[in-house]
Amino acid sequence: MKTNKAELYSSKLIDELLDSIDPEEADRIEKRMLLAARIDDAMKSKGLNKSQFAELMGKKNSVITKWLSGTHNFTADTLFDISRVLDVNLIILELDNTCQTKVFKAEITISVDTTNMDKTQLPTPANPLVNLYNLQIDAHIKNNNSNKYC
């Protein structure tokens, strides 16, 4: 029966070291590892090896190796540059839900059968056409995740 080397080896010292890491540091380590994995995945999806990626970034191969190790503490500017080169979103900036006003741009196409309508009447709240427009706009916002409009 073949066994995994990691299962065979155990060390009290390693266990003590892992137990001594505080939860905040463990969370940072996990996120750095996930970030490195995302960069590596994006490189692979673009068909880039480390050397090609290093050239596109204007960096040495050793820098890319450090980035992919999962231990590098990136600056925001470096992450923005990597995102641009690999065309991948590495930082998701969430909107503040405490906005006072909601501003959005929507393109809505409305088809209305106006055969039996008085076309000389301007849209007013009493005109059913206005209510139709408002219903279409409300439906658009609901169907397009209104949380992103702020």
Looking at the predicted structure, is the pLDDT value of residue 5 above 50? no
Contact between residue 51 and residue 61 where contact means Cβ atoms under 8 Å apart: yes
Same-domain check for residues 110 and 130: yes
**Residue 50 pLDDT > 70, yes or no?**
yes
pTM exceeding the 0.85 threshold for the entire prediction: no
112 lies in some domain: yes
Q: Which residue has the tokens 């266990």?
A: 15
Per-residue pLDDT band for 69 (boundaries 50, 70, 90) equals very high
Q: What is the pLDDT of residue 6?
A: 47
Is 137 within a domain? Answer: yes
Over residues 6-33, the mean pLDDT reads 78
| Predicted pLDDT of residue 56 | 96
The domain of 126 spans: 96-150
- Count CB atoms within 10 A of the CB of residue 52: 13
On the CB side of 150, CA atoms within 13 Å amount to 11
Residue that terminates a domain, selected from 51, 66, 86: 86
In terms of domains, do 112 and 80 share one? Answer: no
Residue 91 lies in a domain: no
**Boundary (domain end) residue, out of 31, 66, 86:** 86
Tell me which amino acid residue 45 is.
S
> For 83-105, what is each residue's pLDDT tens digit?
999 999 888 776 555 545 555 55
Q: What confidence score (pLDDT) does residue 150 get?
A: 43
Taking the CB of residue 130, how many other CB atoms lie within 10 A of it?
A: 13
- Of 86, 119, 134, the position where a domain reaches its end is 86
Number of compact structural domains in the chain: 2
Q: Output the CA–CA distances (angstroms, integers) from residue 94 to 7, 36, 97, 147, 149, in the order listed.
A: 41, 21, 9, 10, 11
